[in-house]
Amino acid sequence: MSTAEAATATDPNAGIIQMIGVHKWYGEFHVLRDINLSVTKGERIVLCGPSGSGKSTLIRCINRLEEHQKGQIIVDGVELTGNLKQIEAVRREVGMVFQHFNLFPHLTILENCTLAPIWVRKEPKAQAEATAMKYLERVRIPEQANKYPGQLSGGQQQRVAIARSLCMNPKVMLFDEPTSALDPEMVKEVLDVMIGLAEEGMTMLCVTHEMGFAKSVANRVLFMDRGEIVEQNEPHEFFNNPQSDRTKLFLSQILSH
Amino acid sequence: MTTSAPSPIAPDSATVSRPLVNRLGPLAWMRRNLFSTWYNALLTVLIVWVLAQAIPALFHWLISNSLLAPATSQECRLVDGACWAFIQEKYRLILFGTFPYNQQWRPLFAVVLVIAMLLASCDRRMWNRRLGVIWGVGMTMVAILMWGGVLGLDYVENSLWGGLPLTLLLAVVGLAVAFPLSILLALGRRSRLPIIKSLSVTYIELIRGVPLISLLFMASVMLPLFLPVGMNPDKLLRAQIAFIMFAAAYLAEVIRGGLQAIPRGQYEAADALGLTYWQKTVKIILPQALTIVIPPIVNTFIAFFKDTSLVMIIGIFDLMNASKAALNDAEWRGFYRESYLFIAVIYFVFCFFMSKYSQSLERDLKRGHQH
Ligand SMILES: Nc1ncnc2c1ncn2[C@@H]1O[C@H](COP(=O)(O)OP(=O)(O)OP(=O)(O)O)[C@@H](O)[C@H]1O
Ligand SMILES: [Mg+2]
């Protein structure tokens, strides 16, 4: 706790997420190599790169779904260490949306959205339900509130997953390829919700291959390859004037179809 | 299924006409279902032959040659078929064991109470705190009825208990205690804390490696050796403990199977929302894991319900042993068919109900989340 407090105390402009010299290994395999990243409040970052480059691993380290072995990760002034209390404190402030939605199939949509506010934030049930309905309206599916996830389409499920995260009133939202498990006709409805969030000033870190989204929404695009952040730039420069050969190769592959 | 012209109302399934192909004549039906291949034909003939041998004999013994009316044992021995006078004579011994004869309304009430509570527990709308209160009060009443010693009831020590109430109590108390224990064991076995994990694994493997009979023997013969002098829990309690230990180990493995079937994404989503370990386990993981393993859990429950009969080897008069005791009466020796059939029917009714209930529960919970 003391180091984390010191970090915020000494640098008031420090980002809401700070990764300093982060390394991670899976056994022998070096997945993250010297990651340095600072995200300021309200910033919208898109993370791209070839499959297996470590994008998921990177954002999963931010809410400690994965453990890093070296370096520091500080989220909203709290350093992620083995301390469970600190991990839970970070997770309360960081929402996450998964590729495969991961809704709770035994709970209704409304229950999915109110579970964490009631049990983690200790909100009264009525208040949690009112908040949940507000966000379900935001993602435009209030009429599904009493259905079960299995009865919804993929796009609807992903919008519920976003609403579920928003109900915790997070300071940061992490997205791990939120549209890549969706049928093409459903991608837009999810992206629209994400664009809306961005417009409201949500801090977002988003792994995606939706380059249109990156161009119109991101402040910064990060390119990762083999566990490193190879290049980062604001979107216009990133797409029109890539510096490294690896970025050029990646962009030519991804934009060719 | 049907490609009818578009209608303003969707046709409901009852009004959709069925295809007529399966309306076959009896001969065609038999050819298709009983004699479709040479080995099907052989099986059909074989089964018909076996039935032809067994059914008339059973019919004679059970119905046409049987004696339903009250009779003496001499009269019974002259009858070719079943003589139900034996049951009429001995049913109170079989059902209530050696519980004092003129007090047997007490175990009767206890049985009725336990069955009523079991039935109440079947209703999912009852699954809340109230049910815990009902069981707390109900089991206290059962204890008062069985033991007595208060409210003007004579004290009956539990070595005199027997028959159906004993079987029911062993099973209900045993499974009620073993079930939560088994959940803890299953969670422990998957724990990341090495001590908890190895303790759970050791316990489960040790208990599963030993037959229930030997555990019962150990509990009755060896347990007193380990306990401090003077502490000598009675035989029934020791059997109950052995039973709980055994059931917990088996159920733990069943539940572990359910836990393993839950995709990692469920754990991650719960973690990402900031739920604590216990919130995640109780609210997200267990409800799904237990739903998956309802059939094997009920299977284990049924097996253990019947396995309570093993306590007879350490001299406890459960339903099974009480029926043997009834046969020990020199006058009625030899009526074991009637005796065993009688208790078989009792066991069957309970087990069949459990099985039916699990099917309906499974259906309900599936309908709940429609996959
Ligand atoms: N639990 C694990 N154990 C061992 N290796 C792993 C594990 N999880 C991921 N990896 C490896 O780490 C590397 C990075 O994985 P990661 O999931 O972060 O990639 P990614 O950039 O998200 O790829 P994708 O675009 O396919 O999702 C991959 O090579 C993967 O095989
Ligand atoms: Mg990934």
Alpha carbon of B303: minimum distance to chain A alpha carbons (Å): 29
CB-nearest to B370 from A104, A151, A165 is: A151
Q: How many domains does chain B have?
A: 3
Boundary residue ending a domain (B155, B182, B199): B155
The pLDDT, as a whole number, for residue A202 is 92
Cα(B79)–Cα(B70) distance, rounded to whole angstroms?
A: 13
Residue B10 placed within a domain: no
Residues of B in Cβ contact (< 8 Å) with A119:
275, 279, 283
Please name which of A17, A153, A200, A179 lies closest in space to residue A94, comparing C-alpha atoms.
Answer: A17
- The residue whose CA is least distant from atom 22 of ligand 1 is A56
Q: Is the pLDDT of residue A1 over 50?
A: no
Asked if B294 and B365 count as a contact pair (C-beta separation under 8 A), the reply is yes
Residue B330 placed within a domain: no
CB-nearest to A120 from B265, B266, B273 is: B273
Residue A94 Cα to chain centre, angstroms? 8
Residue B347 placed within a domain: no
Q: Are residues B149 and B112 in the same domain?
A: yes
Chain B within 8 Å of A198 (Cβ-Cβ)? Answer: no
Residue B8 placed within a domain: no
Q: Are residues B51 and B143 in the same domain?
A: no
Cα(B164)–Cα(B347) distance, rounded to whole angstroms?
A: 10
Residues of B in Cβ contact (< 8 Å) with A164:
273
Asked if A44 and A213 count as a contact pair (C-beta separation under 8 A), the reply is no
Question: A146 in helix, strand or coil?
Answer: coil
Residue A8 CA to ligand 2 center (angstroms) comes to: 30
Q: Are residues B104 and B217 in the same domain?
A: no
DSSP secondary structure, A21-79, as one string: EEEEEETTEEEEEEEEEEE-TT-EEEEE-STTSSHHHHHHHHTTSS--SEEEEEETTEE
> Distance between the two ends of chain A, CA-based, in angstroms?
48
pLDDT, mean of residues A115-132: 94
Q: Is ligand 1 within 6 A of the CB of residue A227?
A: no
User: Do B279 and A65 make contact, defined as CB atoms within 8 angstroms?
Assistant: no
Q: Are residues B224 and B131 in the same domain?
A: no
The pLDDT, as a whole number, for residue B6 is 43
Amino acid at A59: I
Q: What is the pTM of this model?
A: 0.82
Residue range of the domain that includes B107? 100-155
Residue B290 placed within a domain: yes
Q: What CA–CA distances, in Å, run from A148 to A126, A192, B363, B370?
A: 20, 23, 16, 7
Q: Are residues B170 and B310 in the same domain?
A: yes
Q: Are residues B225 and B301 in the same domain?
A: yes
Q: Are residues B129 and B217 in the same domain?
A: no
Joined together, the tokens standing for residue B335 give 């009526």
The pLDDT, as a whole number, for residue A9 is 43
Encode pLDDT of A140-179 as tens digits.
989 999 999 999 999 999 999 999 999 999 999 999 999 9
Q: Is the pLDDT of residue A199 over 80?
A: yes
Q: Are residues B130 and B174 in the same domain?
A: no
Encode pLDDT of A36-80 as tens digits.
999 999 999 999 999 999 999 999 999 999 999 999 999 998 999
The pLDDT, as a whole number, for residue B231 is 66
Boundary residue ending a domain (B64, B89, B110): B64
Chain A within 8 Å of B266 (Cβ-Cβ)? Answer: yes
Q: Are residues B148 and B237 in the same domain?
A: no
Picking from A67, A115, A175, A205 by the largest number of B CB atoms within 10 A of its own CB, the best residue to mutate is A115
Encode pLDDT of B259-305 as tens digits.
999 999 999 999 999 999 999 999 999 999 988 888 888 888 888 88
Residue A51 CA to ligand 1 center (angstroms) comes to: 8
Cα(B317)–Cα(B311) distance, rounded to whole angstroms?
A: 8
Q: How many CB atoms lie within 10 A of CB B165?
A: 28
Residues of B in Cβ contact (< 8 Å) with A115:
273, 275, 283
Q: Are residues B222 and B360 in the same domain?
A: yes
Instruction: Give the residues of chain B that fall short of pLDDT 70.
Output: 1-23, 229-233, 367-371
CB-nearest to B370 from A102, A103, A150 is: A150
Burial (CB < 10 A; 0-12, 13-18, 19+), residue A92, is: buried
The pLDDT, as a whole number, for residue A13 is 58
Residue B371 placed within a domain: no
Residue B296 placed within a domain: yes
Chain A within 8 Å of B44 (Cβ-Cβ)? Answer: no
User: Do B265 and A92 make contact, defined as CB atoms within 8 angstroms?
Assistant: no
Q: Are residues B57 and B112 in the same domain?
A: no
pLDDT, mean of residues A177-190: 89
Asked if A16 and A39 count as a contact pair (C-beta separation under 8 A), the reply is yes
The pLDDT, as a whole number, for residue A206 is 95
User: Do B283 and A149 make contact, defined as CB atoms within 8 angstroms?
Assistant: no
Cα(A132)–Cα(A44) distance, rounded to whole angstroms?
A: 24
Q: Assign residue B206 the CATH number of its domain.
A: 1.10.3720.10
Residues of B in Cβ contact (< 8 Å) with A92:
274
Q: Are residues B123 and B233 in the same domain?
A: no
Residue A227 CA to ligand 1 center (angstroms) comes to: 10
Q: Is the pLDDT of residue A99 over 90?
A: yes
Q: State the complex-level ipTM.
A: 0.91
Residue B6 placed within a domain: no
